[in-house]
Amino acid sequence: LCIPQGPLWRALFGREADKLEQANDDDRTFYVIEREPVVNTFVSVPRENSSLNCAAFAAGLLEAVLGAAGFPARVSAHWHKGTTLMIKFDEAVIARDKSLEGR
């Protein structure tokens, strides 16, 4: 999974993501960590909506790109170490990956 370090991420956000991690307990789950997402840079959120994370927009973009590329997944945005996009791939993606490992 090279999305956060690849040309798409740089084209959309002008730089690579800060970090990509895989969950220790689930081979379907990955985390893209952005300490200061560019989509949050120019947004002023009212105090009463302080839990609003405009980087959820990036989660929607990433989910659409992964799905269109044949890697269906659910992507959600969370406040953790800045903003963390949690990618949870469909079982079929993991099964396909495992079947290709032996080639």
- For the domain that residue 84 is a member of, what is the CATH number? 3.30.1380.20
Q: Has residue 1 been placed in a domain?
A: no
pLDDT at 103: 64
- Whole-angstrom distance, CA of residue 8 vs CA of residue 57: 15
Q: What pTM was estimated for this model as a whole?
A: 0.82
CA distance 1 to 62: 12
Average pLDDT, the chain: 85
Residue 32 lies in a domain: yes
User: Is the Cβ–Cβ distance between 76 and 59 less than 8 Å?
Assistant: yes
Based on the structure, what is the number of domains in the chain?
A: 1
Tell me the C-alpha to C-alpha distance, in Å, between residue 87 and each of 4, 41, 45, 48, 73: 12, 23, 25, 28, 6
Which domain covers residue 10, as residue numbers? Answer: 6-102
Residue 1 has pLDDT above 60, yes or no: no
